[in-house]
Amino acid sequence: MRLTAITAALSLTAGAALAEGVAPDDVSYSDYGEVTVSLSGQPGDATRGREIFANKSQGNCVSCHAVTELADVPFHGEVGPILDGVGSYRTAEELRGIVANAKMTFEGTVMPAFYKTSGFIRPGDGYTGKAAPDDLAPILSAQEIEDVVAFLMTLQDS
Partner 1 sequence: MRHMALTAIAAVLAGTAAFAGGADDDTLILNDEIEMVTKTAAPDHLSDAMDEIISGWHFRSDETQQLQTDDFENQGMIFADYGAEAWDTVEGSEDKSCASCHGDAAESMVGVAATYPKWNDGAEEVRTLQMQVNDCRTTRMGAEPWKYDSGDAINMEAFVTSHSRGMPVNVAIDGPAEATWLDGKDIYYTRYGQLELACASCHEQNYGNYIRADHLSQGQINGFPTYRLKNAKLNGVHSRFKGCIRDTRAHTFSPGSPEFVALELYVKSRGNGLSVEGPSVRN
90 binds ligand HEC (CB under 6 A): yes
The string over 20-36, giving b where at least 16 C-beta atoms fall within 10 Å of a residue's C-beta and e elsewhere, is ebbebeebebeeebbbe
Q: Please report the sign of the dihedral spanned by the C-alpha atoms of residue 90, residue 78, residue 106, residue 33.
A: negative
Residue closer to partner 1 by CB (options 18, 121) is 121
The rounded radius of gyration (Å) of the Cα atoms in the chain is: 17
- Measured between alpha carbons, how far apart are the two ends of the chain, in Å? 63
Binding partner of 136, given partner 1, ligand HEC, none, CB within 5-8 angstroms per partner class: partner 1
User: CA-CA distance, 96 to 90, in Å (whole number)?
Assistant: 10
Query: What is the x/- site pattern for ligand HEC, positions 120-149, by CB under 6 A?
Result: ----------------------------x-
Query: What is the x/- site pattern for partner 1, positions 75-114, by CB under 8 A?
Result: xxxxx-xx-x-------------------------x-xx-
Q: Interface residues with partner 1 (CB under 8 A)?
A: 56, 60, 62-64, 66, 68, 71, 73-79, 81-82, 84, 110, 112-113, 120-132, 136, 139
